[in-house]
Structure 1
């Protein structure tokens, strides 16, 4: 457990992020999750028992982590920004019924052919978002 905490602290410091209890807690929480929570969900999680962090602090922490490349914003639905500490290239599947989000391995799909794009467009990054129904919702 201490080894994991030391690794998180070292990672934050290596990116020039000042280590605060909130930054440590938010980053550690995101590393342990795969559900791509919203800032509101993170705030609610931390403040379940005793309010310890304002929503503004959570947003500022997420922005700081995003700015140094430790967290990425995931936009899978209109008006909802989710956060992911998995910064390796990957795609996403979003269930249209329960809104659960699941990572899909990058290698699962072949690289699209960008030759057909109109002249002048240059692709620097892409990811696929698949929408459908998860196995839990299909069986319900």
Structure 2
């Protein structure tokens, strides 16, 4: 994933009506630079590695503001674990059951769900698929 310029990140945050705080900027820039769908704890370690100024509460509030603005999304692939993704366009996920790695799957790579086959009374709003299995690295390691 290519990293947008500092100016582009600032412009995006302002366009969404967000104040550009150093912590909010750092969280968003970090998410834009990675594709591993980090947890809050992983973000905290990563951000404080270079400039120890962020607390877990600050990261949570930054994530919530970014999510509310539609710049990131929360991904729930495991019970009780929130992960975050800067790719907000529709896509699916592959989750390795052994190493825990997560990879994006293009939306068009999986068949569309037939909403017309849902029972009467159900109204679908959105969906995404999580494919669970073993990644090539784990398969080769065995």
TM category, shorter: over 0.9
Q: Return the alpha-carbon distance in structure 2 between the equivalents of residues 14 and 62 of structure 1.
A: 17
What secondary structure sits across from 2:5 in the alignment? Answer: helix
Structure 1: 4+ residue segments shifted above 3 A: none
5 Å matches for 1:48-87? 48-87=49-88
Equivalent in the alignment of 2:109: 108
Residues of 2 paired with 1:101 and 1:73: CA distance?
Answer: 14
Measured after TM superposition, the shift of residue 10 of structure 1 is: 0.3
Question: Which residue in the other structure is 1:125 paired with?
Answer: 126
Range moving further from structure 2, 76-85 or 41-50: 41-50
Q: Distance in 2 between matches of 1:51 and 1:20?
A: 15
Name the CA distance, whole Å, in 2 between partners of 1:98 and 1:56: 28
Deviations along 1:60-101, one digit per CA (max 9) or x if unpaired, are 000000001001000001010000000011000000000000
Deviation at 1:48, TM superposition (A): 2.3
Gap runs ≥5 in structure 2: none
Counterpart Cα distance in 1 of 2:113 and 2:50: 47
Q: Which consecutive residues of structure 1, in runs of 5 or more, have no partner in the other structure?
A: none
The Cα of 1:51 is off from its aligned counterpart by: 2.3
Describe the shift of the 1:93–1:11 C-alpha distance in structure 2 as closer, same or farther (beyond 3 A).
same
Q: C-alpha displacement at 1:120, in angstroms?
A: 0.9
Does residue 34 in structure 1 map to residue 35 in structure 2?
A: yes
Deviation, 1:46, is: 1.2
Distance 1:23 1:95 in 2: 30
For residues 1-12 of structure 1, the aligned pairs below 5 Å read 4-12=5-13
State the TM-score, normalized to the length of structure 2. 0.94
Aligned equivalents of 2:88, 2:116: Cα separation in 1:
27
Cα separation, 2, equivalents of 1:46 and 1:104: 27
